[in-house]
A and B are shown apart, each in its own frame.
Chain A
């Protein structure tokens, strides 16, 4: 079986629900297994570090009167304030746990958050 056929076969497999097939032709035998099991995906995600909400409350990217130009892809420093959670009259600081790249912002301005809810995902440097 040449590489071209193999590529075609793999592409076709991805379009189906099949996870594994075995092809036999004479003495030739080939087994294909798609690498899409959830455990594997989890391993990829776990290289990112979640930034959790320090409190229940309302999320703000910046304290009143301040602005914050955080974007996905920005690089952040350990201890940098990424936003605040407003609870009563208090503002609880959300800070980067390490130096890294801000990969995902999973919260919007003014949205309610729970204690321990992931707000950002960093790729530590």
Chain B
């Protein structure tokens, strides 16, 4: 195991990683930008270093600054969290070149699986079903390639992620224009304008399988997470297991994830995302080569600490479970992402000082956050304030627990999405487990004419 780990991130995930490090007796180093001097991760870590100004490009995204911080503090490994540099192969390589262990997959795995078109090829090779689409990035004959797949299609950025760089094209006449926009968006967001086409599946569920693999070849797949409740491709609510997946389907999903992890000779934790059609067919979508925001729902139903598994895999040790590919689970977990957004004003970002911050507790409730009363929200980063995760022996009890915990959650000073979550859990469709990626749009649609009056 490592002696000292630097966390190249901020916010709740930095706090989350520090907690596991402390439990394992590993020292922690927090890095922070000038805007995060008073953030919780800085206060909780054993050491902290200011690495740059507020702008992420010059702090949390600066490879030289972070490597320098690790060398100065004598950290032997870096945990990248999610976002920022977590899926950057150059960063993983820079760590390796400086004798620091990157807690995540090798640069090669990040390149193979992080590049969507490459990952798709690998999935096809491993015998995993993929959505009909182009085998490679589209550079020419776009119209012919789109027609072959059949409209509607999606244009996706090869280097994309987090729902960015996706455009839906419903007819041939829009293709050229949308293609231009997708390419320039992708170029601006990811520094790479490569795009590819995929068949657009109407109202699918977003299902994903968490896996972990060590360098000894042990691979575990965890029960699926259902992340269908999204707004503009940003996840709001995640749950595990999915109300739409039975034992047989679960086994097939887990088997696909294990096959892919083995085919890529992957070491670390990762997630395979699938689309599940209304008819129960699943298609490979992409791989996330990092810890995900929604990992606590998996931890809650299985009792695993996924950060610990990451540390075990990265330090060359065995995973904590080596008795098979599948792990037992119990009950049902739901995660609510609480953002500083004004739900009544079309989710406009809300900033300011957190005047009151009372988080729910009690049985089966977990809150992962970096926020505290008196905290000033910096305007430079994402708007997530906290993740509220609940567990109960079954789904109905978990929904009831969410309802109770959301009432207990008191925030003053900024607007939050707590009331949006209350609306979601009171929806009869949600309660019946009937969700798909169009859920939020339908939920919010009736409110619009009323607001216009």
Contacts and interface: CB of A to CB of B under 8 A. Distances in A.
B52 A115 contact: yes
Contacts of B52: 55-56, 115
Contact of A116 (B50, B67, B68): B50
Nearest to A113: B72
A56 B34 contact: no
Contact of B34 (A55, A57, A87, A116): A116
Interface of A: 55-58, 87-90, 112, 114-117
Contacts of B64: 87-90
B89 interface: no
Contacts of A89: 64
A88 B67 CA distance: 8
A56 B72 contact: yes
B45 interface: no
25 contacts: A55-B52, A55-B68, A56-B50, A56-B51, A56-B52, A56-B65, A56-B68, A56-B69, A56-B72, A57-B65, A57-B68, A57-B72, A87-B65, A87-B68, A88-B68, A89-B64, A90-B64, A114-B49, A115-B50, A115-B51, A115-B52, A115-B59, A115-B65, A116-B50, A117-B50
A115 B51 CA distance: 5
Interface in B280-328: none
B34 A115 contact: yes
Nearest to B52: A115
A58 B53 contact: no
A58 B68 CA distance: 8
Contacts of B51: 56, 114-115
Given A55-B65, A87-B64, A88-B67, A115 B72 contact: no
B182 to A, nearest CB: 34
Consensus secondary structure, chain A interface: loop
**Chain B interface main SS type:** helix
B142 to A, nearest CB: 40
Among the interface residues A58, A114, A115, which one has the most CB atoms of the partner chain B within 10 A?
Answer: A115
Interface string B22-66: 000000000000100000000000000111110000010001110
Contacts of B72: 56-58, 112
A87 B64 CA distance: 6
B365 to A, nearest CB: 37
A87 B59 CA distance: 13
Contacts of A87: 64-65, 68
A116 B48 CA distance: 14
Contacts of A56: 49-52, 65, 68-69, 72
Interface in B56-88: 59, 63-65, 67-69, 72
With most chain A CB atoms within 10 A of its CB, the pick from B49, B59, B64 is B64
Contacts of A90: 64
Contacts of A57: 65, 68, 72
Nearest to A88: B64
Contacts of B49: 56, 114
A114 B51 CA distance: 6
List 10 tightest A-B contacts by C-beta distance, closest first.
A88-B64, A112-B72, A114-B50, A115-B50, A87-B68, A115-B52, A87-B64, A56-B51, A57-B68, A56-B68
A100 B72 CA distance: 32
Nearest to B33: A115
A114 B67 CA distance: 13
A8 B59 CA distance: 56
Nearest to B53: A115
A113 to B, nearest CB: 9
A115 B59 CA distance: 9
A112 B67 CA distance: 13
A112 B71 CA distance: 10
Given A57-B72, A114-B51, 5 more contacts: A56-B50, A58-B72, A88-B63, A88-B67, A115-B65
Nearest to B64: A88
Interface in B137-180: none
A106 to B, nearest CB: 16
Nearest to B48: A114
Contacts of B59: 115
A111 to B, nearest CB: 10
A88 to B, nearest CB: 4
A115 B72 CA distance: 13
Nearest to A111: B72
A88 B64 CA distance: 5
Contacts of B63: 88
Nearest to A112: B72
A114 B32 CA distance: 10
A66 to B, nearest CB: 21
Contacts of B65: 55-57, 87, 115
A112 to B, nearest CB: 4
